[in-house]
Structure 1
Amino acid sequence: MKTGPTRVIPPFAWVTSAGGLVIALSGLVDALTSTGDVFGSAWTWGWVAITVVLATVPLAFGDRLVREIGVVGSSVFFAVTSLQMALSTSAVASVNNLVLYPMVACYLGWFYPRAVSRVVTAAAFAMSGAALAVNTHDRVFITWVNLVLASTFCLEAAGYLRARLDREITTDPLTGVLNRSGLDDRIDVELGRAARSGAPLTVGIIDLDGFKQVNDEHGHAAGDRLLVAFAAALRDQTRPYDTVARIGGDEFLVMMPDTAASQAGDFFERLRAATRDPWSYGLAEAVLVDSARTIRARADLELYAQKVSRRRARDARADPPVP
């Protein structure tokens, strides 16, 4: 019996939905405990109902949920709560709105780039601060200051941890260059950019010659030193916007935007002259139908052909023909 594909709900959708439910539950508590404040009754019940409905949207969309929805939702939450703070006659209601700001700041810091999360959170501070300036409540200002500090900490801590995790996931621990994680996605992005702009894009794959022999004769520590030194040479010689990755034991990939294969060939020959140990490479210039898989496969074929050619040349030098 055939079954349909398994529906995937990514962590982003789960966390976004959970955040919406927390906000809804907080509003429900406000509605149940409000004491005559017009913005603690009908307004709050309406906000709870809307938030519950919106909290189901991420789960309904799953992996089709666009990332912008979290920024929009957070911005709406900050705007609505600031409006309620400006108009409410209850100091308690104002504080209840503020206490969720660190949670939202943490969410933004984890899931979004630093610039985006900082701008949205700063806007929240500005709106809520203006609301308190318009509708002053005794002692709420000190609470606002403390929660601004707590939100800033949550924002920066989440952003730092996410950036560090991303580096650890995508960086080869030995050489410090990228690893295979996310590399194909990056290549596909550059392929799309090249297709739109008409600019050339070349991918090169490098394989160190005789690397196994180095490990066998001198030990793995010597092999590691060779890899580290070669990766450092690649970083030094390539441009800031080139991509350098270690994709195997002794294999490296270099992606060079705005570079034709002939230009990349010249660069690789200069690189060969600047490095001590022998290596082979294969190049593939992007065409419109390319994907990350196909352009890497063509570079691999060129690499294999060069290694065979270099091996035959070495064998011919070692065993000259008998006259």
Structure 2
Amino acid sequence: MKAAFFVLTQQQRDYIMAQKSLRNAGVTLVFYDEVLDADHIPPEVDFEIASIFIDSSIDEKLVSKLPNLKFIATQSTGYDHIDLDVCKRRGIIVSSVPSYGERTVAEYTFALILMLSRKMYDAYHRIREKRQFNLRELQGFDLYGKTLGVVGTGSIGKHVIRIAKGFGMNVVACDVYPNEAMSKELEFKYCSLEELLEQSDIVTLHVPYLKSTHHLINKENIYQMKRGAYLINTSRGQVVETEALVRALKDEHIAGAGLDVLEEEGALKDDLEFLRDALKAERLRTVLAGHALIDHPRVIVTPHNAFNTKEALQRILDVTVQNIIAFASGKPINVVK
């Protein structure tokens, strides 16, 4: 059985080629530098397995030219780049990487929280740039005893709550599908979004971007937050209405914000798009050049970096290899329905 991999770095290729488990499963490997779509057909089309990223596009026109294709292993959580109806009609199984960075993003969330609560960037900048070794205006606040509002208690939100409990924080949460068993285990309470905003010293967002979450934090509800509260967003930029946040900061209703995402990013198919799409990143740099939040003294902005660790990216390759081996053995896993 032949597996074709598309657009891997040399390091990724070396890692895949070193996997004895693939050879033991009877899988031979071939690599292509270009994406896989109807305009980029590889010279040989006899592979049964295609491992792709979101920069490839699987549609009827392409599939009709790949007579042996039986399995697609996308190296992403999202699968918008694959026509599932076409694959179903053709009997092609699709597997994804359902998760790879939940702990990674949760840790980064607290990195942003601590940057704000202890004024760590200000302290660093004062020493590095101004050569001033003093504590003036650097007094922060303890996390212990404060209330953290977690919006979205899925795989990332769950780990954020665990970390918060380690700091001795009180936690309230809201989710369209409350997990009461987890609530009891981790000792937090569910409430409405309105109640969460009213009670929380820090609000952190961990929801996917959907029509229902567009501008979830907006000019109508941002002033329901406690005066002096902080907002953290490591989910998607469009979940927060930028204009509302800028206004609440200007009015000093919100003390500060930690943002790994901005609304101007648009709707991403996957976090890894930032690593793979240099043109998109360049366009974004231009758009953000004059962004009102980037130079705000009470806002920390980072470049969609929360997912970006060696271990998280390694997990993507590991799960992809597992998906291929499972298919080769006749027992596919992580199948997209």
Report 1 or 2 for greater relative contact order, CA contacts < 8 Å, sequence distance ≥ 6: 2
TM category, shorter: under 0.3
In the superposition, the TM-score normalised over structure 2's length comes to: 0.24
Q: Which has the higher helix share?
A: 1
In the superposition, the TM-score normalised over structure 1's length comes to: 0.24
Q: Which has the higher strand share?
A: 2
